[in-house]
Chain A
Amino acid sequence: DAKTTQPPSMDCAEGRAANLPCNHSTISGNEYVYWYRQIHSQGPQYIIHGLKNNETNEMASLIITEDRKSSTLILPHATLRDTAVYYCIKLGGWGKLQFGAGTQVVVTP
């Protein structure tokens, strides 16, 4: 059961949109895509999740490709407080949340 693949790091300019890619080519039909982030020395924070439709909430937008093999998390206007490790996780049903290495996002002024 391969996990997801994310770039290890990304830089983003403050005020610009941050687009975080995630590859989950082995995703099965009942698995959702979840995004969490962890700011340094804090507990992780839920951001958004989706199955096949694009989703948007007050924090971010989630764009899932039609074949569901990849997705992109969009932070529309990145701020310095968005500097964190972002985790993309595929999970079905009531499975246990397992974290990979994630993407370290650094937002610079």
Chain B
Amino acid sequence: GAVVSQHPSWVICKSGTSVKIECRSLDFQATTMFWYRQFPKQSLMLMATSNEGSKATYEQGVEKDKFLINHASLTLSTLTVTSAHPEDSSFYICSARTGSSGANVLTFGAGSRLTVL
């Protein structure tokens, strides 16, 4: 089946630095990818919709200048957390639409755990 790969699976960085997370669709093309964030003991929160070749669409309350999303190819979307701070520490998960026959089914990556010191 379809696989979405995320890298890195975990990362620790110092406060004030930027961190890039990659999300790749393996063996299929993804014109649309989604980025979610999950804090401990909470549910997933949709951050933004990443569209290949165009600007990402951010959910209300998500700072687009802080969470830079680039979807330059049909198999790769990246999320860059700029000037990271401890409150940005979270589990970041990407997904891509993989349903057939028009089904709106998402395949998720394994997630990237960010810890900002």
| A100 at the B interface (CB under 8 A) | yes
Give the complex CA separation of A63 and B6 in angstroms.
Answer: 34
CB-CB under 8 A from A109, the residues of chain B are none
Q: Mark A34-51, 1 if CB is under 8 A from B, else 0.
A: 101010011111100100
Give the complex CA separation of A42 and B110 in angstroms.
Answer: 5
CB-CB under 8 A from B109, the residues of chain A are 43
The 8 Å CB contact of B95, one of A34, A41, A43, is A43
| B44 at the A interface (CB under 8 A) | yes
Query: B108 to A45, Cβ gap below 8 A?
Result: yes
The 8 Å CB contact of B106, one of A32, A38, A46, A93, is A46
Q: Mark A46-62, 1 if CB is under 8 A from B, else 0.
A: 10010000000000000
Give the complex CA separation of A17 and B45 in angstroms.
Answer: 30
Main secondary structure of the interface of A (DSSP, over half): loop
CB-CB under 8 A from A106, the residues of chain B are none
CB-CB under 8 A from B111, the residues of chain A are 41-43
CB-CB under 8 A from A46, the residues of chain B are 105-107
Give the complex CA separation of A91 and B36 in angstroms.
Answer: 17
Query: A93 to B104, Cβ gap below 8 A?
Result: yes
A43-B108, A97-B106 in contact; A102/B46 too (CB < 8 A)?
no
Query: A96 to B95, Cβ gap below 8 A?
Result: no
| B75 at the A interface (CB under 8 A) | no
In the assembled complex, the CB of B26 is this many whole angstroms from the nearest CB of chain A, namely 14
